[in-house]
Amino acid sequence: MAKVQNTFLKSKMNKDLDARIVPSGEYRNAVNIQISRSEGDSVGSVENILGNNKVFDFQARTGIANLYCIGYATNDQLNTVYVFLTDWPTPDVPLEKAGGYSNTANNFIFACNVQTNTLTLLVEGAFLNFSQLNPIYGVNVLENLLFWTDNRNQPRKINLDLANPSNLSNPTYYTTEDQISVAKYNPYSCIELYQESFLSPNDNDYESTMKDVVSEYLPQSLPQAQEANPYYNPTFQGDPDYLEDKFIRFSYRFKFDDGEYSVYAPFTQECFIPQQDGYFLFPGTTDNDNNDMSAAYRSTIVDFMENKVNQLTLLIGLPEVGDPSFGTTNLFNVLT
């Protein structure tokens, strides 16, 4: 039997004529083709393209029916498609007014590698707050970060390398909203420079964490006996003169696991206590010509206005690990 083979040199689709009288070089219908739009000699030519095959079954993977794709992003370098899925059809108006979300919704973010046919679940949970009424059009892949926004929640992002590197069935790296929000948690309280006093029997007494630990005795005037410094540390290894001429303040910020930094916390007060605690003393004599006040009056120089602090304890309030509400703090000390 003779074999009829047509070459569509004209690359022209002809819908005007009956299929029985379409001239050679033209075609009536075409499936899985694309028309070249280049500016070269091949412009307008017909090329075959691959058809569509069912590669991944999300219902079999999740056990959830009626999943709806509300957005996707492609990564040509990794041959990977990132898909956003949800079964939540309509927003819960009372919950939205209260600033919450439905805890019965099933939301997923999958990475689909079309080259290796690998399906990786990156994030799952009701906290994603997806809705079929809010498709995700704003989505981008920047290096190893996936950004998206759906006009329903604040802009979000995840780290593709850290989300589920072991391809677990139920990833637990991202479990709360604050972990995926582009607006990161910031330290809003400054470092504390006071603590409960160990010198007082009263539990409600506090003292400064700024101390002079190199002076054996406290400042004293003539009527008083010399008093020992309770904070004196004869084995102090630091530089006792490092803060002598400095008005120093402290702050801190968070560094997140993907290399980002938060904004700075409020700065502390100046960590400065003048020598002699700011008092004009009368060292060893009642002669008015031989005391701090007279010396300052004659020279206009107050020699003891230097920082006596040489040891600091910084109390930094941090959210407890595993506490999404950040309602309590865990204090730790940093010594300088």
Q: What is the pLDDT of residues 296-313, one digit of tens each?
A: 777 777 777 888 898 988
C-alpha–C-alpha distance, residues 106 and 332, integer Å: 39
The b-or-e profile of 195-213 (16+ CB within 10 A means b, else e) is: eeeeeeeeeeeeeebbbbb
Tokens of 42: 């091949």
The separation between the first and the last C-alpha atoms of the chain, rounded to the nearest angstrom, is 95
Q: What is the mean pLDDT of residues 203-211?
A: 85
Encode 95-106: b = buried (16+ Cβ within 10 Å), e = exposed.
eeeeeebbeebb
Q: What is this structure's pTM?
A: 0.63
For the chain, give the number of residues. 336
Instruction: List the structure tokens of 260.
Output: 């980002």
Residue that wins the pLDDT comparison between 210 and 103: 210
pLDDT of residue 289 exceeding 60: no
For residues 38 and 264, what is the distance between their CA atoms, to the nearest angstrom? 52
For position 85, what pLDDT does the model report? 95
Query: What residues contact residue 31 under an 8 Å CB cut-off, 6+ apart?
Result: 51
Give the residue-averaged pLDDT of 153-159: 93
Q: Could you tell me if 186 and 263 are in contact, meaning their C-beta atoms sit under 8 angstroms apart?
A: yes
pLDDT value at residue 331: 46
Sign of CA dihedral 123, 124, 125, 131: positive
Q: Name which of 300, 302, 301 is nearest 278 in CA terms.
A: 302
Average model confidence (pLDDT) for the chain? 80
Band (200; pLDDT cuts 50, 70, 90):
confident
Residue 133 has a pLDDT of 86
pLDDT at position 72 over 80: yes
Least confident of 158-167, 259-268, 311-320: 311-320
